[in-house]
């Protein structure tokens, strides 16, 4: 890819709760569909907790031990197809603890970053079953600095700002965000893009889990806050082209980072 222009594919998939076997097969099928599209993606992103869904009562038995199965699948795919992958997040077992963990792979299949969700979402009982991460998720993809946040994390602007201050020009957000909070989803993602003058690439799942309905509406938002591409509520692969030169242009147009006065707040 050119240094500045990327084609991204967002795999807005349904997740079968508590059935990793089905979900690993489905992810592999969708990855193949994404790579065979007319415009080859430079980067593919998956949604949150795609291996198990929120099967929290069985999560200890279902979680991927140290993410080994996930890493093996996604690493082989990224290497074979020379594509960067932001692997959504999965339920990961590490010792006695379960984490909601994201892995990023470069075009050689190397894991270049991992991040475990810091803010656990009480409305979905995450804090009862999962352990929170203790470090932020920064990465470098094809020479561009980026950041990773997971779903509920987008309600915490401090985290996005910290990633932006560490050089991120693009923020990746896998999610399992349900109705009736579409307005929050769109507004918070747009705010993170505008205030940090960076791209936001957010991939949400679709489908239902018990009485909870996930609405999709995955989206790519540019550093000016315009929605470049937005999904509907069905399973789909969303594509968008992003131009990273726009980040510097917008930062030049309104010099927010130069005008910050952190000594007063």
Known catalytic residues?
48, 117, 151
Measure Cα distances from 144 to 97, 160, 169, 171, 244 in Å. 32, 16, 7, 11, 9
Q: Please pick, from the candidates 151, 164, 170, 237, the single residue that binds ligand LYUYDEPV as defined by CB under 6 A.
A: 151
Q: At CB < 8 A and 24+ separation, what contacts does 251-259 make?
A: 251/197, 251/223, 254/197, 256/195, 256/197, 257/164, 257/165, 257/197
Q: Look-up: residue for tokens 């510097």?
A: 248
By C-alpha distance, which of 197, 196, 142, 199 is closest to 172? 199
Identified binder of ligand LYUYDEPV from the candidate list 73, 124, 203, 237, rule CB under 6 A: 124
10 is an interface residue for ligand LYUYDEPV by CB under 6 A: no
| Residue keyed to tokens 């997740």 | 15
CA distance 258 to 95: 44
Q: What is the DSSP letter of 55?
A: -
Q: Is the CB of 42 or the CB of 176 nearer to ligand LYUYDEPV?
A: 176
C-beta of 57: minimal distance to ligand LYUYDEPV in Å?
16
With contacts defined by CB under 6 A, how many residues of the chain interact with ligand LYUYDEPV?
A: 11
Binding test (CB under 6 A) with ligand LYUYDEPV, winner from 77, 152, 214, 215: 152
Residue 228, SS3 per DSSP: strand
Could you say whether residue 215 binds ligand LYUYDEPV (CB under 6 A)?
A: no
Task: Supply the minimum distance, in Å, between the C-beta of residue 142 and ligand LYUYDEPV.
Answer: 28
155 binds ligand LYUYDEPV (CB under 6 A): yes
- Pairwise CA distance, residues 265 & 252, whole Å: 24
The footprint of ligand LYUYDEPV on residues 177-196 (CB under 6 A) is 177-178, 181, 184
Residue 149 or 242: the one with the smaller Cβ distance to ligand LYUYDEPV is 149
- Say how far apart CA 119 and CA 97 lie, in whole Å: 16
User: What residues numbered 25-64 form the site for ligand LYUYDEPV, per CB under 6 A?
Assistant: 48
The alpha carbon dihedral of 107, 219, 18, 129 has a sign of: positive
Find the part of the chain contacting ligand LYUYDEPV (CB under 6 A) among 8-16, 161-169, 173-181, 196-204: 173-181
Binding site for ligand LYUYDEPV (CB under 6 A): 48, 121, 124, 151-152, 155, 176-178, 181, 184
């Amino acid at each position: 890819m050119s240094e500045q222009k990327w084609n991204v594919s967002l795999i807005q998939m349904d997740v079968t709760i508590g059935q990793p076997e089905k979900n690993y097969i489905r992810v592999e099928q969708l990855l193949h569909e994404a790579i065979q599209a007319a415009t080859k993606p430079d980067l593919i992103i998956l949604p949150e907790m795609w291996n198990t869904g929120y099967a929290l009562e069985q999560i200890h038995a279902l979680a991927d031990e140290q993410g080994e199965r996930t890493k093996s699948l996604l690493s082989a795919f990224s290497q074979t197809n020379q594509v960067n992958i932001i692997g959504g997040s999965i339920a990961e077992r590490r010792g006695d603890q379960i984490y909601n963990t994201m892995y990023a792979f470069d075009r050689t299949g190397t894991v270049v970053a991992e991040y475990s969700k810091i803010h656990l979402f009480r409305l979905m009982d995450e804090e009862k079953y999962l352990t929170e991460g203790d470090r932020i998720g920064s990465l470098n993809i094809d020479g561009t600095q980026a950041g990773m946040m997971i779903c509920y994390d987008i309600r915490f602007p401090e985290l996005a700002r910290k990633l932006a201050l560490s050089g991120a020009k693009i923020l990746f957000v896998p999610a399992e965000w349900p109705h009736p909070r579409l307005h929050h989803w769109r507004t918070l993602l747009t705010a993170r893009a505008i205030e940090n003058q960076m791209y936001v690439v957010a991939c949400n799942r679709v489908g239902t889990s018990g009485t909870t309905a996930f609405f999709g509406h995955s989206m790519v938002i540019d550093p000016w806050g315009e929605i470049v591409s937005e999904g509907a509520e069905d399973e789909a692969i969303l594509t968008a082209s992003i131009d990273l030169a726009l980040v510097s242009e917008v930062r030049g147009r309104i010099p927010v980072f130069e005008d910050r006065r952190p000594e007063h707040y």
